[in-house]
């Protein structure tokens, strides 16, 4: 089975082929679901896409207003390829822990930030028009840095700085991030983190090790690496 033909047909040929290849590799179809909640947010006033990836189902939520652009679809399907086809794990609340929605959501956001440093360069290679989207996203997150709680400031600076250095190095947003990092004496640490990140980027396990080594305040015992596979299901392993 494949993505519903009425949605697949709206994509250009290379993105159609990419979707079909990833579905084949994953052994799961990507099911598009229209949801009015997706009409909000985004950077163009048209809303945004979101993907929910499980072992046996992949749901791609899209606005009800017809917004379904090639670049945004490729972005979400790149997430699918990483987890389902390449077998890259994601950060998740450990099964042994009591359910905690707030912490689980925070881990999801943290994992997303790590994944974006890996997948957005490939997205921009195919869809240069998406650069404006990512410039706007980073402009927003960097202008929010002064409001980040002090205990999370260092992590936020390191992640945003790493994204800017490796994905949008000539963006004007770099100066906003640099000046904030300098003001809080975090630039040297952020630069070092960005260098180490790039050095181990081919291995998610090594990236996660770097993350917990640099930020021991993240409660490692509550977190697991979750591997998703359509044949064997989902399994968790402890953080290395």
Please give the Cα distance from 69 to 62 (Å, whole number).
10
Position 147 in a domain: no
Position 202 in a domain: no
Number of domains in the chain: 1
Are 226 and 95 within 8 A, CB to CB? no
Short-list 25, 95, 35, 86, CA closest to 59: 35
Tens of pLDDT, residue by residue, the chain (240 residues): 899 999 999 999 999 999 999 999 999 999 999 999 999 999 999 999 999 999 999 999 999 999 999 999 999 999 999 999 999 999 999 999 999 999 999 999 999 999 999 999 999 999 999 999 999 999 999 999 999 999 999 999 999 999 999 999 999 999 999 999 999 999 999 999 999 999 999 999 999 999 999 999 999 999 999 999 999 999 999 998
Position 141 in a domain: no
Position 57 in a domain: yes
Position 2 in a domain: yes
Short-list 117, 138, 113, 16, CA closest to 68: 16
Position 77 in a domain: yes
Position 76 in a domain: yes
Short-list 224, 155, 162, CA closest to 196: 162
Position 8 in a domain: yes
Model confidence pLDDT, tens digit, residues 134-162: 999 999 999 999 999 999 999 999 999 99
Could you write out the three-class secondary structure of 53-79?
A: ECCCCEEEEECCCCCCCHHHHHHHHHH
Whole domain around residue 69: which residue ranges? 1-86
At residue 95's C-alpha, the angle toward residues 91 and 98, to 5°, is 110
């Amino acid at each position: 089975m494949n993505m519903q033909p009425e949605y697949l047909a709206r994509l250009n040929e290379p993105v159609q082929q990419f979707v079909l290849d990833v579905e084949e590799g994953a052994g799961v179809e990507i099911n598009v679901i229209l949801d009015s909640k997706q009409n909000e947010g985004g950077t163009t006033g048209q809303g945004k896409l979101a993907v929910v990836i499980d072992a046996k189902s992949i749901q791609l939520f899209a606005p009800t207003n017809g917004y379904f652009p090639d670049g945004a679809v490729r972005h979400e399907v790149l997430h699918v390829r990483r987890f389902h086809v390449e077998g890259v794990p994601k950060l998740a609340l450990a099964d042994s822990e009591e359910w905690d929605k707030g912490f689980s959501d925070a881990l999801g956001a943290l994992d997303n930030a790590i994944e974006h440093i890996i997948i957005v360069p490939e997205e921009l290679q195919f869809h240069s028009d998406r650069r404006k989207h990512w410039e706007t996203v980073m402009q927003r997150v960097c202008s929010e840095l002064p409001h980040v709680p002090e205990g999370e400031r260092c992590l936020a600076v390191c992640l945003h700085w790493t994204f800017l250095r490796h994905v949008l190095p000539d963006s004007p947003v770099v100066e906003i991030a640099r000046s904030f990092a300098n003001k809080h004496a975090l630039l040297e640490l952020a630069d070092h983190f960005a260098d180490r990140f790039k050095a181990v980027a081919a291995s998610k396990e090594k990236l996660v090790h770097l993350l917990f080594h640099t930020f021991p305040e993240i409660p490692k015992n509550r977190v697991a690496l979750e591997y998703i596979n359509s044949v064997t299901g989902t399994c968790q392993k402890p953080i290395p």
